[in-house]
Chain A
Amino acid sequence: MKSKWLSLLGRLLIGGLFVAAGGLKIIDPKSFARAIVDYQLVPSALVPLSAVLIPWWETVAGALVIAGWRWRTGALAVLTLLSAIFVGATCITLLRGLSPTCGCFGMLSERVGPMSLLLELGVLLLSASLLRAELRGEPGKAGSSSV
Protein backbone atom coordinates (compact mmCIF):
# COMPACT_ATOMS: atom_id res chain seq x y z
CA MET A 1 0.00 0.00 0.00
CA LYS A 2 2.79 2.37 1.02
CA SER A 3 4.79 1.71 -2.15
CA LYS A 4 1.62 2.27 -4.21
CA TRP A 5 1.26 5.79 -2.78
CA LEU A 6 4.97 6.49 -3.07
CA SER A 7 4.79 5.47 -6.71
CA LEU A 8 1.83 7.82 -7.22
CA LEU A 9 3.69 10.66 -5.53
CA GLY A 10 6.76 10.01 -7.65
CA ARG A 11 4.71 9.94 -10.85
CA LEU A 12 2.94 13.18 -9.97
CA LEU A 13 6.24 14.84 -9.16
CA ILE A 14 8.12 13.71 -12.25
CA GLY A 15 5.13 14.14 -14.55
CA GLY A 16 4.37 17.59 -13.20
CA LEU A 17 7.98 18.70 -13.56
CA PHE A 18 8.16 17.68 -17.19
CA VAL A 19 4.73 19.09 -18.08
CA ALA A 20 5.82 22.43 -16.62
CA ALA A 21 9.24 22.33 -18.27
CA GLY A 22 7.84 21.28 -21.64
CA GLY A 23 4.99 23.77 -21.50
CA LEU A 24 7.30 26.73 -20.88
CA LYS A 25 9.41 25.74 -23.87
CA ILE A 26 6.38 25.19 -26.12
CA ILE A 27 5.24 28.79 -25.68
CA ASP A 28 8.68 30.15 -26.66
CA PRO A 29 10.45 27.77 -29.06
CA LYS A 30 12.93 30.44 -30.18
CA SER A 31 14.36 30.79 -26.66
CA PHE A 32 14.75 27.03 -26.41
CA ALA A 33 16.36 26.94 -29.87
CA ARG A 34 18.86 29.51 -28.64
CA ALA A 35 19.61 27.40 -25.57
CA ILE A 36 20.19 24.35 -27.77
CA VAL A 37 22.61 26.36 -29.93
CA ASP A 38 24.52 27.41 -26.79
CA TYR A 39 25.18 23.81 -25.80
CA GLN A 40 27.08 23.34 -29.08
CA LEU A 41 26.00 19.69 -29.29
CA VAL A 42 23.27 19.69 -31.94
CA PRO A 43 24.04 20.41 -35.63
CA SER A 44 22.55 23.74 -36.73
CA ALA A 45 20.23 22.08 -39.23
CA LEU A 46 18.59 20.03 -36.47
CA VAL A 47 18.16 22.86 -33.95
CA PRO A 48 14.67 24.00 -35.07
CA LEU A 49 13.31 20.44 -35.17
CA SER A 50 14.79 19.69 -31.74
CA ALA A 51 13.34 22.91 -30.34
CA VAL A 52 9.87 21.84 -31.46
CA LEU A 53 9.95 18.11 -30.66
CA ILE A 54 11.73 17.92 -27.28
CA PRO A 55 9.22 20.09 -25.38
CA TRP A 56 6.32 18.07 -26.78
CA TRP A 57 8.00 14.81 -25.80
CA GLU A 58 8.35 16.20 -22.28
CA THR A 59 4.79 17.51 -22.04
CA VAL A 60 2.97 14.54 -23.55
CA ALA A 61 5.04 11.97 -21.66
CA GLY A 62 4.67 13.96 -18.43
CA ALA A 63 0.89 14.15 -18.87
CA LEU A 64 0.67 10.40 -19.55
CA VAL A 65 2.69 9.66 -16.42
CA ILE A 66 0.39 11.84 -14.32
CA ALA A 67 -2.76 10.35 -15.83
CA GLY A 68 -1.39 6.84 -15.37
CA TRP A 69 -4.09 5.46 -17.61
CA ARG A 70 -2.34 4.29 -20.80
CA TRP A 71 1.21 4.06 -22.15
CA ARG A 72 2.61 4.82 -18.72
CA THR A 73 5.62 2.58 -19.19
CA GLY A 74 6.47 4.16 -22.51
CA ALA A 75 6.00 7.64 -21.07
CA LEU A 76 8.33 6.87 -18.16
CA ALA A 77 10.86 5.47 -20.61
CA VAL A 78 10.71 8.69 -22.63
CA LEU A 79 11.22 10.82 -19.51
CA THR A 80 14.10 8.62 -18.36
CA LEU A 81 15.71 8.84 -21.78
CA LEU A 82 15.30 12.63 -21.86
CA SER A 83 16.71 12.92 -18.32
CA ALA A 84 19.74 10.85 -19.31
CA ILE A 85 20.29 13.03 -22.37
CA PHE A 86 20.05 16.21 -20.31
CA VAL A 87 22.51 14.87 -17.72
CA GLY A 88 24.92 13.89 -20.49
CA ALA A 89 24.63 17.25 -22.21
CA THR A 90 25.20 19.09 -18.93
CA CYS A 91 28.26 17.01 -18.09
CA ILE A 92 29.80 17.60 -21.52
CA THR A 93 29.05 21.31 -21.32
CA LEU A 94 30.57 21.67 -17.87
CA LEU A 95 33.66 19.70 -18.90
CA ARG A 96 34.08 22.11 -21.82
CA GLY A 97 34.03 25.01 -19.38
CA LEU A 98 30.83 26.47 -20.77
CA SER A 99 27.85 27.64 -18.73
CA PRO A 100 25.00 28.38 -21.10
CA THR A 101 21.45 28.95 -19.98
CA CYS A 102 20.05 25.56 -19.05
CA GLY A 103 16.94 25.91 -21.20
CA CYS A 104 15.19 23.51 -18.84
CA PHE A 105 12.32 25.85 -18.03
CA GLY A 106 12.24 28.08 -21.08
CA MET A 107 12.89 31.74 -20.36
CA LEU A 108 12.90 31.03 -16.61
CA SER A 109 16.04 28.90 -16.87
CA GLU A 110 19.22 29.59 -14.94
CA ARG A 111 22.75 28.84 -16.11
CA VAL A 112 24.08 25.30 -16.25
CA GLY A 113 26.19 24.47 -13.20
CA PRO A 114 26.74 21.88 -10.46
CA MET A 115 23.31 22.56 -8.90
CA SER A 116 21.46 22.08 -12.18
CA LEU A 117 23.41 18.86 -12.73
CA LEU A 118 22.42 17.62 -9.27
CA LEU A 119 18.77 18.39 -9.98
CA GLU A 120 18.94 16.58 -13.30
CA LEU A 121 20.58 13.57 -11.67
CA GLY A 122 17.79 13.48 -9.10
CA VAL A 123 15.17 13.57 -11.83
CA LEU A 124 16.97 10.80 -13.73
CA LEU A 125 17.14 8.66 -10.61
CA LEU A 126 13.45 9.12 -9.88
CA SER A 127 12.26 8.45 -13.41
CA ALA A 128 14.55 5.42 -13.76
CA SER A 129 13.26 4.02 -10.45
CA LEU A 130 9.66 4.46 -11.50
CA LEU A 131 10.37 2.86 -14.88
CA ARG A 132 12.08 -0.08 -13.22
CA ALA A 133 9.08 -0.58 -10.96
CA GLU A 134 6.78 -0.47 -14.00
CA LEU A 135 8.80 -3.06 -15.87
CA ARG A 136 8.83 -5.34 -12.85
CA GLY A 137 5.07 -5.02 -12.48
CA GLU A 138 5.35 -3.59 -8.97
CA PRO A 139 2.40 -1.94 -7.08
CA GLY A 140 1.13 1.15 -8.83
CA LYS A 141 1.42 -0.27 -12.33
CA ALA A 142 -1.50 0.65 -14.62
CA GLY A 143 -4.12 -2.12 -14.61
CA SER A 144 -2.73 -3.91 -11.57
CA SER A 145 -4.34 -1.73 -8.92
CA SER A 146 -6.32 1.46 -8.49
CA VAL A 147 -3.43 3.89 -8.89
Chain B
Amino acid sequence: MTPAVRHGLSETLLVLAAASALGLAVNALSPAGISVTHPLALKDLDPRYITVEETRVLFDSGQCVFLDARKPDEYAKGHIAGAINYPADQFVALYAKLDAILMAAPVLAVYCGGGDCALSHLLADRLGEAGYKRVKIFHGGWQEWKAHGGPAE
Protein backbone atom coordinates (compact mmCIF):
# COMPACT_ATOMS: atom_id res chain seq x y z
CA MET B 1 0.00 0.00 0.00
CA THR B 2 1.49 3.33 -1.04
CA PRO B 3 1.79 6.23 1.41
CA ALA B 4 -0.80 8.16 -0.63
CA VAL B 5 -3.32 5.33 -0.33
CA ARG B 6 -2.60 4.91 3.36
CA HIS B 7 -3.03 8.61 3.86
CA GLY B 8 -6.24 8.53 1.84
CA LEU B 9 -7.62 5.66 3.94
CA SER B 10 -6.96 7.45 7.23
CA GLU B 11 -8.56 10.62 5.84
CA THR B 12 -11.57 8.60 4.70
CA LEU B 13 -12.07 7.24 8.21
CA LEU B 14 -11.66 10.73 9.66
CA VAL B 15 -14.29 12.17 7.31
CA LEU B 16 -16.73 9.34 8.09
CA ALA B 17 -16.15 9.69 11.84
CA ALA B 18 -16.54 13.47 11.83
CA ALA B 19 -19.65 13.36 9.63
CA SER B 20 -21.20 10.60 11.75
CA ALA B 21 -20.58 12.48 14.99
CA LEU B 22 -22.01 15.66 13.56
CA GLY B 23 -25.01 13.85 12.09
CA LEU B 24 -25.87 12.00 15.29
CA ALA B 25 -25.52 15.18 17.35
CA VAL B 26 -27.74 17.24 15.06
CA ASN B 27 -30.26 14.41 14.82
CA ALA B 28 -30.46 14.18 18.62
CA LEU B 29 -31.08 17.92 18.94
CA SER B 30 -33.36 18.40 15.94
CA PRO B 31 -37.19 18.37 16.24
CA ALA B 32 -37.23 16.41 12.95
CA GLY B 33 -34.71 13.90 14.32
CA ILE B 34 -35.48 10.20 14.47
CA SER B 35 -34.51 7.52 16.94
CA VAL B 36 -31.54 5.53 15.64
CA THR B 37 -31.79 2.81 18.26
CA HIS B 38 -35.41 1.82 17.74
CA PRO B 39 -37.25 0.95 14.55
CA LEU B 40 -39.45 3.79 13.36
CA ALA B 41 -43.16 3.59 14.16
CA LEU B 42 -45.25 2.54 11.21
CA LYS B 43 -47.14 5.80 10.94
CA ASP B 44 -43.83 7.70 11.13
CA LEU B 45 -42.61 5.88 8.05
CA ASP B 46 -45.82 6.34 6.13
CA PRO B 47 -49.23 7.62 7.30
CA ARG B 48 -50.89 5.07 5.00
CA TYR B 49 -49.58 2.13 7.01
CA ILE B 50 -52.18 0.20 9.01
CA THR B 51 -51.68 -2.42 11.72
CA VAL B 52 -53.12 -5.94 11.65
CA GLU B 53 -55.82 -4.82 14.08
CA GLU B 54 -56.84 -1.91 11.86
CA THR B 55 -56.76 -4.23 8.84
CA ARG B 56 -59.09 -6.67 10.56
CA VAL B 57 -61.54 -3.87 11.33
CA LEU B 58 -61.54 -2.89 7.66
CA PHE B 59 -62.00 -6.52 6.62
CA ASP B 60 -64.95 -7.01 8.96
CA SER B 61 -66.59 -3.79 7.79
CA GLY B 62 -66.92 -5.17 4.27
CA GLN B 63 -66.15 -1.68 2.95
CA CYS B 64 -62.60 -2.41 1.85
CA VAL B 65 -61.14 -4.02 -1.25
CA PHE B 66 -57.91 -5.87 -0.51
CA LEU B 67 -55.19 -5.92 -3.17
CA ASP B 68 -52.44 -8.52 -3.03
CA ALA B 69 -49.33 -7.03 -4.67
CA ARG B 70 -47.35 -10.29 -4.81
CA LYS B 71 -46.68 -12.46 -7.85
CA PRO B 72 -49.54 -14.79 -8.92
CA ASP B 73 -47.82 -17.97 -7.72
CA GLU B 74 -47.36 -16.53 -4.23
CA TYR B 75 -50.97 -15.28 -4.23
CA ALA B 76 -52.16 -18.77 -5.22
CA LYS B 77 -50.45 -20.32 -2.19
CA GLY B 78 -52.60 -18.25 0.13
CA HIS B 79 -54.08 -14.78 0.48
CA ILE B 80 -56.51 -12.69 2.49
CA ALA B 81 -60.04 -13.91 1.78
CA GLY B 82 -61.53 -11.97 -1.11
CA ALA B 83 -58.28 -10.20 -1.98
CA ILE B 84 -57.62 -9.41 -5.63
CA ASN B 85 -54.19 -10.24 -7.01
CA TYR B 86 -52.68 -7.03 -8.40
CA PRO B 87 -48.93 -7.60 -8.83
CA ALA B 88 -47.03 -4.33 -8.50
CA ASP B 89 -45.15 -4.93 -11.76
CA GLN B 90 -48.39 -5.44 -13.72
CA PHE B 91 -50.00 -2.17 -12.72
CA VAL B 92 -50.52 -0.85 -16.23
CA ALA B 93 -51.53 -4.20 -17.70
CA LEU B 94 -54.31 -4.77 -15.16
CA TYR B 95 -55.39 -1.19 -14.67
CA ALA B 96 -58.19 -1.13 -17.23
CA LYS B 97 -59.58 -4.42 -15.97
CA LEU B 98 -59.66 -3.37 -12.30
CA ASP B 99 -60.41 0.34 -12.55
CA ALA B 100 -64.18 0.07 -12.05
CA ILE B 101 -63.77 -2.14 -8.96
CA LEU B 102 -61.12 0.11 -7.48
CA MET B 103 -63.04 3.33 -8.10
CA ALA B 104 -66.15 1.91 -6.39
CA ALA B 105 -64.27 0.81 -3.26
CA PRO B 106 -64.52 3.13 -0.22
CA VAL B 107 -61.09 1.97 0.92
CA LEU B 108 -58.28 0.10 -0.81
CA ALA B 109 -55.92 -1.91 1.39
CA VAL B 110 -52.73 -3.09 -0.27
CA TYR B 111 -50.49 -5.80 1.12
CA CYS B 112 -47.72 -8.19 0.12
CA GLY B 113 -45.61 -10.74 2.00
CA GLY B 114 -45.01 -8.45 4.96
CA GLY B 115 -41.97 -7.15 6.86
CA ASP B 116 -39.38 -5.89 4.41
CA CYS B 117 -41.54 -6.57 1.35
CA ALA B 118 -41.93 -3.30 -0.53
CA LEU B 119 -44.33 -4.45 -3.28
CA SER B 120 -47.37 -3.17 -1.43
CA HIS B 121 -45.71 0.21 -1.08
CA LEU B 122 -44.97 0.36 -4.79
CA LEU B 123 -48.53 -0.57 -5.71
CA ALA B 124 -49.93 1.95 -3.24
CA ASP B 125 -47.74 4.69 -4.75
CA ARG B 126 -48.97 3.88 -8.24
CA LEU B 127 -52.57 3.82 -7.12
CA GLY B 128 -52.06 7.20 -5.50
CA GLU B 129 -50.52 8.59 -8.70
CA ALA B 130 -53.49 7.21 -10.66
CA GLY B 131 -55.87 9.21 -8.49
CA TYR B 132 -57.12 6.68 -5.96
CA LYS B 133 -57.34 8.56 -2.69
CA ARG B 134 -58.19 6.18 0.13
CA VAL B 135 -55.28 3.76 -0.13
CA LYS B 136 -53.91 2.02 2.93
CA ILE B 137 -50.90 -0.25 3.25
CA PHE B 138 -51.10 -3.29 5.50
CA HIS B 139 -47.42 -3.35 6.41
CA GLY B 140 -47.49 -6.69 8.22
CA GLY B 141 -48.84 -8.34 5.07
CA TRP B 142 -49.75 -11.96 4.49
CA GLN B 143 -47.35 -13.27 7.15
CA GLU B 144 -48.91 -11.23 9.93
CA TRP B 145 -52.48 -11.87 8.72
CA LYS B 146 -51.83 -15.60 8.78
CA ALA B 147 -50.17 -15.39 12.21
CA HIS B 148 -53.26 -13.61 13.57
CA GLY B 149 -55.62 -16.18 12.09
CA GLY B 150 -57.30 -13.79 9.68
CA PRO B 151 -59.73 -15.26 7.11
CA ALA B 152 -57.80 -16.66 4.20
CA GLU B 153 -58.19 -18.49 0.92
Contacts and interface: CB of A to CB of B under 8 A. Distances in A.
B36 interface: yes
A73 B23 CA distance: 21
Contact of A74 (B11, B20, B88): B11
Contacts of B19: 53, 56-57, 59-61, 78
Interface in A27-65: 27-30, 33-34, 37-40, 44-45, 47-49, 51-53, 55-57, 59-61, 64
A134 interface: yes
B141 to A, nearest CB: 13
Pick the most buried of A45, A51, A60, A99: most chain B CB atoms within 10 A of its CB: A60
Contacts of B23: 26, 52-53, 55-57, 60
A28 B32 contact: yes
Interface in A79-108: 81, 97-101
Interface stretch (B1-9, B78-86, B96-104, B143-151): B1-9
A81 B11 CA distance: 13
B34 A78 contact: no
B152 to A, nearest CB: 24
Interface residues of A, number: 43
A73 B7 contact: yes
A81 B15 CA distance: 12
B116 interface: yes
B57 interface: no
Interface size class of B (residues with CB under 8 A): 35 or more
A98 B35 CA distance: 28
A79 B32 CA distance: 25
Contacts of A56: 19-20, 22-23, 26
A55 B39 CA distance: 18
A48 B12 contact: no
A66 interface: no
B33 A137 contact: no
B125 interface: yes
16 contacts: A34-B45, A39-B118, A48-B34, A52-B24, A52-B33, A52-B36, A53-B23, A56-B19, A60-B19, A61-B19, A71-B11, A74-B14, A78-B12, A135-B2, A135-B8, A137-B4
Interface of A: 26-30, 33-34, 37-40, 44-45, 47-49, 51-53, 55-57, 59-61, 64, 71, 73-75, 77-78, 81, 97-101, 131, 134-137
The 10 A-B pairs at the shortest CB distance, nearest first, are namely: A74-B11, A56-B23, A60-B19, A77-B12, A74-B12, A74-B15, A38-B118, A73-B8, A49-B36, A56-B19
